[in-house]
Amino acid sequence: MFKKSSMPLIVGAIICFVLGVSILVSCVVVPTTDSNSESDSEQITPEEQEEHRNACEGESENNENADPTVPSAPQVQPGSEESPSASEPEQPEQPVEPEEKPYVSSKDDPLLVLANVDNPLPEDFEVGELEKVQGKYEMSVRAASFAKDMIAAAKEDGITLQLCSAYRARSLQQTLFDNKYDSYISKGWTHDDAYAKTATIIAIPGTSEHQTGLCMDVVTPSYQVLDAGYAETDAAKWLAENAWEFGFILRYPKDKQDITKIIFEPWHYRFVGIENAKLIKDSGLCLEEYLDTLE
């Protein structure tokens, strides 16, 4: 049995034990309860989670909830051309196209051979191979195909070009010259006057372009007279405008007679090649003048 004097101590000890147990329980149980309560109060809905995720990661182009009026930022894939870390492949060097140089005529061009009273052809001049152009008329093979193309092109435009002369051998040129000379003598002309006049119409043998095989005299069925009136025909006008495209030039222009020493012959066309023909036509010069500009 306990003594009465020990009772207060025992009661005090019991009170202390009970208080200690109460404090221990409050430290363990109460925080747990508060934590659950706080978790319940801060729990977010699935919709709020989705919004939170979009805000952190950025909206995807395939996001069905995205506003279609707001453009989305492009997503750069690793290794793509737009990726900063991707190295651009080396491009092969493109071949440099050489600059096309303009065509330059040369005095040595056989197509520019000059035959006139001051520049007779050599005694041993050879025309080379000939080719028929129209009917019995032949030209050098260097010019024949171009002449045939020109005749065909004119026909497509409703123009008929008819040859009345092309290549002439020196012997034929001599015959033509003598016949014209004799016609003036029969009219009472002096020898010198008849010769000089004939030379302006029929080239002196050895000085005629016809001997080169590079020229032709062209008329049209409705006008076959070799005079200045031919220049007013549709055929002559077509030639004056288009012949250069086929490599031909009007050899004896009206305003160059003092240089060529030949009368105006709107029917006489000379082949010089397409490049040369364009340059000569653009220059407004006759062949003699043009050759003087070349080195």
**Could you report the per-residue pLDDT of 47-100, keeping only the tens digit for each?**
555 554 544 444 444 444 445 454 555 555 555 445 445 566 677 777 776 677
- Residue given tokens 């062949």 in the structure block: 287
Distance CA 77, CA 228 (A): 82
Strands 162-165, 215-219: pairing kind: antiparallel
Kindly report, residue by residue over 224-264, the tens digit of the pLDDT. Answer: 999 999 999 999 999 999 999 999 999 999 999 999 999 99
CATH topology of domain 110-168+208-292: Muramoyl-pentapeptide Carboxypeptidase; domain 2 (3.30.1380)
Lowest-confidence segment of 105-109, 218-222, 229-233, 235-239 by average pLDDT: 105-109
State the pLDDT at residue 62. 47
- Residue given tokens 């003087």 in the structure block: 292
The three-class DSSP label of residue 249 is strand
Q: How are strands ordered across the β-sheet holding 215-219?
A: 162-165, 215-219, 268-271, 248-250
Residue 287 has pLDDT above 90, yes or no: yes
Q: Which residues form the catalytic set? A: 265
The three-class DSSP label of residue 116 is strand
- For Cα atoms 223, 229, 230, give the angle at the middle one, nearest 5 degrees: 45
Distance CA 73, CA 264 (A): 79
141-156 and 234-242 helices, crossing angle to 10°: 120
- Report the phi/psi class of residue 113: left, alpha or beta, with left for phi > 0 and alpha for psi in -120 to 50: beta
Kindly report, residue by residue over 119-132, the tens digit of the pLDDT. Answer: 999 988 999 999 99
Encoded tokens for 78: 């690793």
Amino acid at position 268, single letter: H
pTM confidence score? 0.65
- Report the phi/psi class of residue 82: left, alpha or beta, with left for phi > 0 and alpha for psi in -120 to 50: alpha
Encoded tokens for 19: 């208080």
State the pLDDT at residue 209. 95
More confident residue, 278 or 78: 278
The three-class DSSP label of residue 26 is helix
